[in-house]
Structure 1
Amino acid sequence: MKIYIFLISVLLTAWACSEDAIDSYKSTRYLYFSKPEVLDSATFLSFSHYPGATEKKINVEVTLIGDLLKENTTYQLEIDQDSTTADPSDYELNLTQTFAANQIKDSIEIKVFNKNLTNKEVTLYLRIVENENFSPGLKKNRAARIIFNDIDSQPLWWTSSIETLFLGRWTPEKYARFIESSGITDLTGYEFTAIRKICLQFKEDIRLNGWTEKDGSPMELTVN
Structure 2
Amino acid sequence: MKNKDIMYTLLLGLLAALSLVSCDKQEIETYHANRSLFFERWKQTSATARERIDTVGYSFSHYVGETELTHEFQIKLIGALLEEDTEYRVSVVDSLTTATGDQYSLPEKLMFHKGMASDVLPVTLKKAPSLKDKQVYLTLRLVANENFGLGYTGYSDVKIRFNDQEVIPLWWTQEVTDAYLGKYSFKKLETIIAANEGFSTFEGLSDTEKRKIALKTKAYILANNIKEENGDPMEIPMY
Fold conserved between structures, TM > 0.5: yes
Q: CA deviation at 1:178?
A: 1.6
Answering whether residue 148 of structure 2 is matched by residue 138 of structure 1, we say no
Aligned pair partner of 1:87 in 80, 97, 100: 100
Partner of 1:126: 140
Question: CA separation of 1:197/1:32 partners in 2, compared to 1, >3 Å: closer, same or farther?
Answer: closer
Structure 1 unmatched ranges of 5 or more:
1-16
3-state SS, counterpart of residue 140 of structure 1: coil
Q: CA deviation at 1:197?
A: 3.8
Q: Is the 8 A contact 2:40 2:74 kept in 1?
A: yes
CA distance in 1, matches of 2:59, 2:37: 28
Question: CA separation of 1:34/1:113 partners in 2, compared to 1, >3 Å: closer, same or farther?
Answer: same
CA-atom RMSD in angstroms: 2.7
3-state SS, counterpart of residue 164 of structure 1: helix
Q: Is the 8 A contact 2:141 2:157 kept in 1?
A: yes
Q: CA deviation at 1:191?
A: 4.6
- For 1:1-224, what aligned pairs fall within 5 Å after superposition? 25=30, 28=33, 29-35=35-41, 40-94=53-107, 96-116=109-129, 117-183=131-197, 184-188=199-203, 190-224=205-239
- Scaled by the length of structure 1, the TM-score of the pair is 0.79
Q: Deviations over 1:104-140 (max 9, x none)?
A: 2111111111023114211111111111011122221
CA distance in 2, matches of 1:66, 1:209: 57
Letter in 1 for 2:111: T
Q: CA deviation at 1:162?
A: 2.9
User: Share of identical aligned residues, percent?
Assistant: 32
Deviates more, 1:97-106 or 1:214-223: 214-223
Deviates more, 1:199-208 or 1:212-221: 199-208
Partner of 1:14: none
3-state SS, counterpart of residue 184 of structure 2: coil
Q: CA deviation at 1:160?
A: 3.5
Q: CA deviation at 1:43?
A: 2.0
- Scaled by the length of structure 2, the TM-score of the pair is 0.74
Letter in 2 for 1:161: E
CA distance in 2, matches of 1:170, 1:59: 27
Q: Deviations over 1:3-26 (max 9, x none)?
A: xxxxxxxxxxxxxx9xx9899656
Q: Deviations over 1:61-96 (max 9, x none)?
A: 111112221211111111111111111111111364
Q: CA deviation at 1:142?
A: 0.9
Question: CA separation of 1:201/1:99 partners in 2, compared to 1, >3 Å: closer, same or farther?
Answer: closer
Q: CA deviation at 1:211?
A: 2.2
Letter in 1 for 2:220: D
Question: CA separation of 1:100/1:151 partners in 2, compared to 1, >3 Å: closer, same or farther?
Answer: same
Query: How many positions carry a matched residue from both structures?
Result: 204
Q: Is the 8 A contact 1:68 1:101 kept in 2?
A: yes
CA distance in 2, matches of 1:87, 1:185: 25
Letter in 2 for 1:207: L
Deviates more, 1:89-98 or 1:103-112: 89-98
